[in-house]
A = this chain, B = another copy of it.
């Protein structure tokens, strides 16, 4: 048994499983206007951020998620200049996006400023690029931001949200995807975290269905490890207005920045669809 005083545990009730991290101490907790935020120092994973009881990220393994939420989409778009990040308050995705020299403007829109303030304090390495002149941080409702945006406003929208409950629920709806579609440029695309294919296959299918219904002509689901998320195996889905069949493989192979997980082979590999996933998506 794990002593409650020594371990942070997240139960994944529907699947009867749980993941725990051994903690040295709780560094912070607060109820923000939107969510309950906790920060722990762990034994083996560096610092840990928890929102409403769910593991958001750790110092040790957030690179999988942040790299896969940014570089595949950025190297799939022919020339991404303007990027919005909806959610992403920990600034880890922002940091990765800003590694692309061609990107001229990134707006991060997270409803909860407290997430960013805590990230600055407890995950400073993720916030290292926040002062980049190309970056803007806004603490407003991302759903409304997208709804109110003018057509042709943005090349890539990265939906780096919590799970589809609470404040993030609207980010998984056809209405939201339609608003995204309307403000994207002709080659524009959305990438959104799409949960675990092992635990949340139905949700993943519904999300893809809503993206298609909103007008996106081509979808790609990417798979990657993410130790601290349910099942340890995560996904993201790119929805493109135009065809997504290739990515700028040479540019990815010759990328001018460091990564921990991502490279052009990993990009290609992430697109391989497991047999059961292919079958499930076909029968929808």
Chain A positions within 8 Å of B, measured between CB atoms, are 1-4, 7, 9, 11, 14-22, 42-45, 61, 198, 223, 225-227, 231-233, 258-263, 265-266, 268-276, 278
Which residue, of A262, A270, A276, has the highest number of chain B Cβ atoms within 10 A? A276
* Interface pair A43/B19, CB less than 8 Å apart: no
Give the CA-CA distance A45 to B12 in the complex, in Å.
Answer: 12
Residue pair A44, B22 in contact (C-beta under 8 Å): no
Rounded to whole Å, the gap between the CB of A23 and the closest CB of chain B is 8
Cα–Cα distance between A233 and B232 once the two chains are bound (Å): 7
A17 to B9 alpha-carbon distance, docked (Å): 9
Decide: A42 and B21 in contact? CB cutoff 8 A: no
Q: Is the CB of B14 within 8 A of A18?
A: no
Say how many copies of this protein the assembly contains.
2
**CA of A3 to CA of B4 in the docked complex: distance in angstroms?**
10
A263 and B259 in contact, given A42-B16, A232-B231, A269-B268 (Cβ under 8 angstroms): no
Identity of the chain B residue whose Cβ is nearest the Cβ of A255 in the assembled complex:
B275
Which B residues are in CB contact (< 8 Å) with A223?
A: 225
Q: Which one, B3, B231, B260, B278, contacts A276 given CB within 8 A?
A: B260
Which residues of the partner chain B approach A276 to less than 8 Å between Cβ atoms? 260-261
Give A271 to B272 CA distance when docked, in angstroms: 12
- Across the interface, A263 reaches (CB within 8 A) one of B227, B268, B274, namely B274
Report the minimum CB–CB distance from A105 to chain B (whole Å).
27
Distance in angstroms from A70 CB to nearest chain B CB is 14
Chain B residues whose C-beta falls within 8 Å of the C-beta of A18 in the assembled complex: 2, 7, 9, 19-22
Nearest residue (CB) in B for A13 is B22
Q: List 30 A-B contacts (CB under 8 A).
A: A1-B2, A1-B3, A2-B2, A2-B11, A16-B21, A17-B22, A17-B45, A17-B227, A20-B20, A61-B198, A198-B225, A198-B227, A226-B232, A227-B231, A227-B232, A227-B233, A233-B233, A259-B275, A260-B276, A261-B274, A263-B272, A263-B273, A263-B275, A263-B278, A265-B271, A265-B273, A268-B269, A269-B270, A269-B271, A269-B272
